[in-house]
Amino acid sequence: MWFKNREKAPIAAEASANMKDSSNVLEIDDLKVHFFTDDGVVKAVDGISLDIPKNTTVGIVGESGCGKSVTSMSIMRLLQEPPASIVGGEIRLNLGDDALDLAKMNKDSMRRIRGKEVAMIFQEPMTSLNPVFTIGEQLMEGILVHRPDIGNAELKGKVIELLKMVGISRSEEIVKSYPHELSGGMKQRVVIAMALSCEPRLIIADEPTTALDVTIQAQVLELMRELKDRIHTSIMLITHDLGVVAEMAEMVVVMYAGRIVEQGTVYEIFENPLHPYTRGLMKARPTKDNKSKRLYSIEGNVPSPVGLPDYCYFHNRCEESEEDCKNEYPTLVSVTPTHKVSCYVANKENKNA
Amino acid sequence: MPDNNILVVEELKKYYPLKGGIIKHTVKYVKSVDGVSFSVGRGKTFALVGESGCGKTTVGRTILRLTEPTGGRAYLDGQDIFRMRQKELAKNIRPKMQMIFQDPFASLNPRIPVGEAIKEPVRAHRLVPKEELMEYTLDIMKHCGLPSYFAGRYPHEFSGGQRQRICIARALAMKPALIIADEPVSALDVSIQAQIINLMKDLQEEYGLSYLFISHDLSVVEYLADEVGVMYLGSIVEHADKEELFRNPMHPYTRALLSAVPIADPYRKMKRIVLGSDIPSPSNPPRACKFHTRCPHAMPICSEIAPKYKDYGGGHCVACHLYPQ
Amino acid sequence: MDSADNKKIMSPGQLVLRRFLKNKLAIAGLVIICLSVVFCIVGPLFSPYGEYEIFYIDTNTGEEISMYDTEALKRPGVGVNVKAPISAKHWLGTDADGRDVFTRLMYGGQISLQFGVAVTLIELVIGVLLGAVAGYYGGVVDMIIMRLVEVFYCIPFLPMMLIVSAFMMTLGVRPEDKIYYLMIFMGIFNWAGVARMVRAQMLSIRETEYMYAAKAAGLSVARQIFKHMLPNAIPIIIVMATMDLGGFILTESTLTYLGVGLAFPYASLGNMVNAVNKSVIMRNYLNIWLPPGLFILAIVMAFNFIGDGLRDAFDPKK
């Protein structure tokens, strides 16, 4: 096939990096991604740092426009540049013996990382498969790109095995079918199989179940949890649904307007949410246990990404805001070794306690 | 006709023809909605719950006559909607029955300013004298939490939540008795969802509105609904008061739906009923009980005889062989 | 709802305009078109010569004589001043019949622009109306209109125009009026493309939720089409119109070149380029045929730049 003979682009020397902690798969350090638009500079991601340890699911929660998808796209370097640009920070990927700074990689050498070391599952299973190729062809292509010397028989076997792994029983038949012949849930399974095909170190799942029905969502979540342990990979799970996070993730990062407002283990976040935004999100969720007559709501809207204030971005929606909150944007302060929050009020309470 | 119901729907059917063959002809019908009956009480909320392809959206659109029904009857305030001609419909029914759509980005015309969008239908039906129109519009906007300077702006300047408020204002301006809300919050962020749900509740109390609330999300439904109907592949499989349904779900599908919702509590990685396989295609539904292919309690009889839709006391109706037929 | 009140409110149209004005090529196109319009419409007022004024020259004195100066023409040794070189009197010289090229360029451009605009307007009126009706109603109405579109698509354009021209000749239509009939016929033969495009747009707009909302509000059909649907189809209509406009100007030149269009002695860019038929002129008298050729090129390119610019401006994803 055409891509077999393609020469491998050299990886630029400045892209090599050193991991802070070798037990992490990915370390994001002060990442800044800005969009240069007609209306001004949009600071879509403005200085976020987070670690993804090996064999762990990290949930990134936030509402639309908080920068969670931009973060994932910049790890994959799939952003349209320009208007987007990574203006600062490092994205260090642990390759075992050495490490790479994905933020400094050039586009050609990124191709060797995508799919092989880091794979992605998109939100829309309907549009993330190409309608003119069969499921088998699409799965094979993904494997061939990174393992051009694989034999034909082995390749076919591998595809069938992958489909079996994601719980597709009639895999021989499915290999020959086209995407439109499958239902939404089936397609998302195929997309997951594609992501798994090269046994990546990290899988980025961007709202993997949002487009699916609840009963199908339950199936897919269970599948992802099971597969993570089976192939020892890490998952970066991007979602707006706290329920999904609680179920899937071990670590949680809450983002608001391009910054991390709170991060910690799933137990810390759900048991002891410190940031008013995190608390608001939890209370606003209609759940069966919440018996109050009126649903709690965070008033106001997500701030416009252009011309953000120089104080806390959540200030004008916050119920607990104080005088101090008009000071400069609060830094992330560690409450426990794993739990960090960026809020004046929360910090004060913590010191008093 | 009992007078306490604003909307009564009886045996509603909507079949879509499926064309095939070399010479295009109708080979069979997709029974998108197959005999659905329910009623919405005055000032009450009836929720239709189901997954994609179950026909819940089609029900909403057929009642509004945005698509023509195949069979059945529907009465709004005692007037037969399906027998009316388009002219009468526009005059007598349209103002009384409005719709809110799922996608607030698609349901506002990008070339019409917000104030105009709200005003236009009111003017077309002459609901308010010309002199008072502007004032009336601003008043409606205020009730929906929209400041008056929004009136001259275009939809592209607003976020999803604000747009959904605009859509609600547009529907409300017609002084409707019934609003059909098709997944009004599922495209919105969590913190905004709560605002919109609260707004809908407030408006219901203030204006005495009735809602037909269509959703896939049971947790949202629990906040708003008085009665709930659960749909699966074109028919209602269970119907009860909200309290009754959530306390005592009888149909296996309802139970699965209830348990499938992820709970925001890491300690409760609960045992849930995970349904096997996929939702069957509505063009080729299973025989007899349509749920038997996915049902954890399926019995031989389920694939042979369709279960009767029966009342098991207190208006709790279920169609399932698990209960005495 | 705390967004800045003082922010300037921009309608979608203003946003498009702002994006359009940022496109250098499109602005260049706009400037070229504006200059051409001024040149063609205001220019003749300042030109001392007429469109088909022939110049003679007294070979004895070297004095130039206009065809209107009947007295002077009778003098011996007076001949037609053909293919005069570029001079202060004739900025682009004279053509093979002794007429001022620069002046004819103005009149020719006028005809070409008129032709382009008129044909585009006619095709838009018919095409938009029929396309909108077909797209809105669908079903049988759509079927009939679309079959009509197919019929019009199948008519071979050039032979048809030759036939029309022959008919006009036998019916004794005056040569200066012929071009106006041609405009009408061309408009009628070209609406099919517009109709098809508008119909496709209407079909997709019809299925949007805001159209369901408009229907549910009980608005009249005319209001739905003209207030809610057409404004959303306008971007594509404008883009298509500007692109077509350039094309029609080219077609006019082609037709005139083939002798179907505007006839002697009237000027059009097409029949001016026609002079290139003679190899002597082609080789030695660039001033006669190159200016009208470049003028056509400039106008057509300018319209295409504007069309491209508008398309990009309407599409915010770019």
The alpha-helical segments, DSSP class H, found in A263-339 are 266-271, 276-284
Q: Tell me if the bond preceding B282 is cis, omega within 30° of 0.
A: no
Q: Do A38 and C19 touch (CB under 8 A)?
A: yes
- Mean pLDDT for the stretch of residues B235-262: 89
Structure tokens at C202: 């209407």
Backbone phi, then psi, for A265, in 5-degree steps? -75, 165
Residue that wins the pLDDT comparison between B15 and A293 = B15
As a whole number, the mean pLDDT across chain A is: 83
Q: Is B257 on the interface with A (CB under 8 A)?
A: yes
Give the model's confidence band at C150: pLDDT under 50 very low, under 70 low, under 90 confident, else very high.
very high
% of chain A residues with pLDDT over 90: 8
Q: Do B266 and A270 touch (CB under 8 A)?
A: yes
Q: Is B284 on the interface with A (CB under 8 A)?
A: no
- Helix C286-314 to helix C24-41 angle (10° resolution) is 130
Distance, in Å, from the CA atom of C32 to the CA atom of C51, rounded to the nearest integer, reads 23
pLDDT of residue C3: 42
Contacts of B51 in chain A (CB under 8 A): 213-216
Q: Do C19 and A304 touch (CB under 8 A)?
A: no
Q: Is C3 on the interface with A (CB under 8 A)?
A: yes
Neighbours of chain A (3+ CB pairs under 8 A): B, C
pLDDT beyond 60 at A291: no
- Mean pLDDT for the stretch of residues C283-312: 87
Query: Cα distance from A307 to chain C (closest Cα, Å)?
Result: 10
- Mean pLDDT for the stretch of residues C77-84: 78
- The helix (run of H) or strand (run of E) holding residue A94 is strand A84-94
Q: Is C1 on the interface with A (CB under 8 A)?
A: yes
Q: Do B262 and A213 touch (CB under 8 A)?
A: no
Residues 31-50 of A with CB under 8 A from C: 38
- Mean pLDDT for the stretch of residues A95-103: 82
Distance, in Å, from the CA atom of A162 to the CA atom of B269, rounded to the nearest integer, reads 27
pLDDT of residue A292: 60
The beta-strand segments (E) located in chain C are: 55-58, 64-66, 78-80
- The total of other beta-carbon atoms located within 10 Å of residue A137's CB is 15
Q: Do B147 and C214 touch (CB under 8 A)?
A: no
pLDDT beyond 90 at A131: no
Contacts of A38 in chain C (CB under 8 A): 18-19, 22
- Mean pLDDT for the stretch of residues B295-301: 87
Distance, in Å, from the CA atom of B142 to the CA atom of C14, rounded to the nearest integer, reads 28
Residues 196-215 of C with CB under 8 A from B: 208-210, 212-215
A57-61 vs A234-239, strand pairing mode: parallel
Which CATH fold would you assign to the domain C101-314? MetI-like fold (1.10.3720)
Range C286-295, long-range pairs (CB < 8 A, 24+ positions):
C287/C85, C287/C86, C287/C92, C287/C93, C287/C101, C288/C83, C288/C92, C288/C93, C288/C95, C288/C96, C288/C101, C291/C92, C291/C101, C291/C102, C291/C105, C292/C105, C292/C108, C295/C36, C295/C105, C295/C108, C295/C109, C295/C269
Distance, in Å, from the CA atom of C291 to the CA atom of C179, rounded to the nearest integer, reads 22
Distance, in Å, from the CA atom of A190 to the CA atom of A206, rounded to the nearest integer, reads 15
Pick from C290, C261, C307: nearest CA to C33: C307
Contacts of B192 in chain A (CB under 8 A): 63, 297, 301
Q: How far is CA A90 from CA A17, A36, A52, A120, A144, in A?
A: 9, 20, 14, 20, 30
A94-98, B197-201, C133-137: segment of lowest average pLDDT: A94-98
Give the model's confidence band at C2: pLDDT under 50 very low, under 70 low, under 90 confident, else very high.
very low
Burial class of residue C190 (count of CB atoms within 10 Å of its CB; 0-12, 13-18, 19+): buried
A11-20, A209-218, B13-22, B72-81: segment of lowest average pLDDT: A11-20
Sign of CA dihedral C179, C181, C182, C184: positive
Query: Cα distance from A122 to chain C (closest Cα, Å)?
Result: 20
Exposure on the CB side of residue A318, measured as CA atoms within 13 A: 24
Distance, in Å, from the CA atom of A7 to the CA atom of A103, rounded to the nearest integer, reads 22
Query: Cα distance from C1 to chain A (closest Cα, Å)?
Result: 6
Residue type, A140: M
pLDDT of residue C316: 58
Q: Do B278 and A240 touch (CB under 8 A)?
A: no
Q: How far is CA B14 from CA B17, B57, B310, C200, in A?
A: 10, 11, 23, 27
Q: Is C18 on the interface with B (CB under 8 A)?
A: no
Query: Cα distance from C311 to chain A (closest Cα, Å)?
Result: 18
Nearest CB among A63, A215, A299 relative to B190 is that of: A63
Distance, in Å, from the CA atom of C184 to the CA atom of C189, rounded to the nearest integer, reads 9
Query: Cα distance from C160 to chain B (closest Cα, Å)?
Result: 35
pLDDT of residue C29: 92
- Helix C101-137 to helix C230-257 angle (10° resolution) is 140
pLDDT of residue C1: 38
Q: How far is CA A77 from CA A69, A74, A120, C191, in A?
A: 12, 4, 12, 46
Nearest CB among C5, C10, C217 relative to B121 is that of: C217
As a whole number, the mean pLDDT across chain C is: 84
pLDDT of residue C5: 43
Give the model's confidence band at B251: pLDDT under 50 very low, under 70 low, under 90 confident, else very high.
very high
Q: Which residues contact B101 (CB under 8 A, 6 or more apart)?
A: B107, B167, B182, B183, B184, C209, C212, C213
pLDDT of residue A1: 47
Q: Is B190 on the interface with A (CB under 8 A)?
A: yes
Interface size between A and B, measured as CB pairs under 8 A: 125
- Mean pLDDT for the stretch of residues B54-70: 88
Strand order in the sheet with A202-206: A118-121, A202-206, A234-239, A57-61, A251-256, A259-265, A340-341, A333-334
Give the model's confidence band at C4: pLDDT under 50 very low, under 70 low, under 90 confident, else very high.
very low
Pick from C300, C313, C312: nearest CA to C33: C300
Burial class of residue A75 (count of CB atoms within 10 Å of its CB; 0-12, 13-18, 19+): buried
Question: Distance between the two ends of chain B, CA-based, in angstroms?
Answer: 28
Q: Is C218 on the interface with B (CB under 8 A)?
A: yes
Neighbours of chain C (3+ CB pairs under 8 A): A, B
Q: Is C5 on the interface with A (CB under 8 A)?
A: no
Decide: A232 and A244 in contact? Cβ < 8 Å.
Answer: no
Q: Which residues are bridge partners to A255 per DSSP?
A: A260
Structure tokens at B302: 């389920």
Residue that wins the pLDDT comparison between A142 and B62 = B62
Give the model's confidence band at C218: pLDDT under 50 very low, under 70 low, under 90 confident, else very high.
confident
pLDDT of residue A200: 87
Distance, in Å, from the CA atom of B312 to the CA atom of B325, rounded to the nearest integer, reads 10
Q: Do A63 and B189 touch (CB under 8 A)?
A: yes
A153-157, A345-349, C203-207: segment of lowest average pLDDT: A345-349
Q: Which residues are bridge partners to B48 per DSSP?
A: B214, B229
A124-128, B118-122, C115-119: segment of lowest average pLDDT: A124-128
Backbone phi, then psi, for B77, in 5-degree steps? 55, 35
Query: Cα distance from B35 to chain A (closest Cα, Å)?
Result: 23
Q: Is A301 on the interface with C (CB under 8 A)?
A: yes
**pLDDT tens figures, B142-176:** 888 888 888 888 888 888 888 899 999 999 998 89
Distance, in Å, from the CA atom of C33 to the CA atom of B57, rounded to the nearest integer, reads 51
Structure tokens at A185: 């849930």
The alpha-helical segments, DSSP class H, found in A25-183 are 68-76, 107-113, 135-146, 152-165, 171-175
Query: Cα distance from B3 to chain C (closest Cα, Å)?
Result: 25
pLDDT beyond 50 at A49: yes
Contacts of C315 in chain B (CB under 8 A): none
DSSP state of C95: -
Nearest CB among A185, A241, A281 relative to B262 is that of: A241
pLDDT of residue C318: 41
Residues counted in chain A: 353
Residue type, A238: I
- The total of other beta-carbon atoms located within 10 Å of residue A3's CB is 10
pLDDT of residue A287: 65
- Mean pLDDT for the stretch of residues A296-300: 80
pLDDT beyond 60 at C317: no
- Helix C286-314 to helix C230-257 angle (10° resolution) is 170
DSSP state of C11: -
Task: For chain A, give every domain's residue range.
Answer: 271-352
Backbone phi, then psi, for C254, in 5-degree steps? -60, -50
Q: Do B110 and C208 touch (CB under 8 A)?
A: no
Residue that wins the pLDDT comparison between A284 and B122 = B122
Nearest CB among C5, C11, C218 relative to B121 is that of: C218
Q: Do C11 and B154 touch (CB under 8 A)?
A: yes
Nearest residue of C to residue B102, measured between CA atoms: C209
Domain span(s) for CATH 1.10.3720.10 in chain C:
101-314
Torsion of CA C3, C4, C5, C9, to 10 degrees: -90
Place of tokens 């370097």: A77
pLDDT beyond 80 at A71: yes
Give the model's confidence band at B8: pLDDT under 50 very low, under 70 low, under 90 confident, else very high.
very high
Query: Cα distance from A38 to chain C (closest Cα, Å)?
Result: 9
Q: Is A302 on the interface with C (CB under 8 A)?
A: no
Q: What is the complex's ipTM, to 2 decimals?
A: 0.79
- The total of other beta-carbon atoms located within 10 Å of residue C44's CB is 16
Query: Cα distance from B52 to chain C (closest Cα, Å)?
Result: 18
Interface size between B and C, measured as CB pairs under 8 A: 78
Distance, in Å, from the CA atom of A276 to the CA atom of A339, rounded to the nearest integer, reads 15
